Amino acid sequence: MGWQDISGFARETKDRTPRTYELHAGLVRVVVTRIHGASGWFVRCDALRIAASPLITENSDVAKQLAVQLIRAELLRAARQLGETSRLGDTAEMQAVRT
């Protein structure tokens, strides 16, 4: 599944330019949006506790690409931290979890 436009507009709004997109990847929901009064785009990902990280671009397609790069980097960092704290290794217990 790709990015979906989830912009909401008041009935009287004439400009219907998309301003909020979302992407779902498993349990991770990524939102790229504009914030009223601020320039550029922002990314939000509640699963990774990213509230409103600025994406330094005015282009929505570039913003979506930057958001995916940021989320991937955060997921890899979290996976490395999990690997460092895990002491199960390749025990029978861990092999059972994998199957």
CA gap 71, 82 in Å, rounded: 16
Structural domain boundaries in the chain: 4-98
Give average pLDDT by consecutive 10-residue segment, the chain, 99 residues. 90 88 96 95 97 96 98 94 69 59
Tell me the C-alpha distance between 3 and 32, whole Å.
9
Per-residue pLDDT at 69: 97
- Which pLDDT score is estimated for 11? 84
pTM > 0.75: yes
User: 65: closest CA among 41, 48, 47, 34?
Assistant: 41
H or E element in which residue 25 lies? strand 20-25
Please choose, from the candidates 60, 72, 65, the residue with its C-alpha nearest in 3D space to the C-alpha of residue 28: 72
8 A C-beta contact, residue 40 and residue 52: no
